[in-house]
């Protein structure tokens, strides 16, 4: 006899995960638009020399990465508003949030209060939606 099994997917801690998802989406969309603007108009750099200034100047000189990072953030944030596309959006945002955490730790310590919650929110939401990723770890 052929047994049909259905895997039920549920969001862990929905009373926390749902507001966190919308706040993270708003954050990604708004900072994505801001970052795309920096990519077009140039990044505002501090006058005093620092590793942060040197790094951001190098990114600004290329004229490439800042705009595209903003676009990816905007796309991921937009997808987060739709429950069905949330698992995909979280995976799209993960490399950005890991990078921004490392960037804040090693280069721009003044932004740690943004970088840590940004990463932790993404990590929590991946945990909350983990049922959608279980198939990746099964035979």
- Residue 125, CA distances (Å) to 10, 36, 135 in order: 12, 25, 17
pLDDT in tens, 58-95: 888 877 788 999 999 999 999 999 999 999 999 999 99
Q: What is the largest CA-CA distance in the chain?
A: 74
Burial class (CB in 10 A: 0-12, 13-18, 19+), 132: middle
As a whole number of angstroms, the distance between CA 8 and CA 6 comes to 6
pLDDT band per the 50, 70, 90 thresholds, residue 18: very high
Please name the residue that has the structure tokens 């200034």. 53
pLDDT in tens, 26-64: 999 999 999 999 888 887 888 888 888 888 888 888 777
């Amino acid at each position: 006899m052929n047994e049909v099994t259905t895997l039920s997917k549920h969001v862990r801690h929905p009373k926390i995960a749902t507001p966190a998802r919308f706040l993270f989406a708003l954050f990604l969309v708004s900072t994505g638009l801001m970052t795309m603007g920096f990519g077009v108009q140039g990044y505002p750099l501090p006058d005093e020399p620092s590793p942060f200034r040197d790094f951001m100047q190098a990114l600004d000189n290329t004229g490439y990465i800042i705009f595209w990072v903003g676009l990816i953030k905007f796309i991921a944030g937009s997808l987060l508003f739709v429950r069905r596309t949330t698992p995909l959006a979280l995976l799209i945002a993960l490399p950005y949030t890991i990078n921004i955490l490392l960037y804040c730790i090693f280069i721009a310590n003044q932004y740690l209060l943004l970088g840590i919650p940004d990463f932790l929110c993404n990590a929590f939401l991946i945990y909350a939606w983990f049922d959608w990723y279980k198939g990746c770890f099964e035979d």
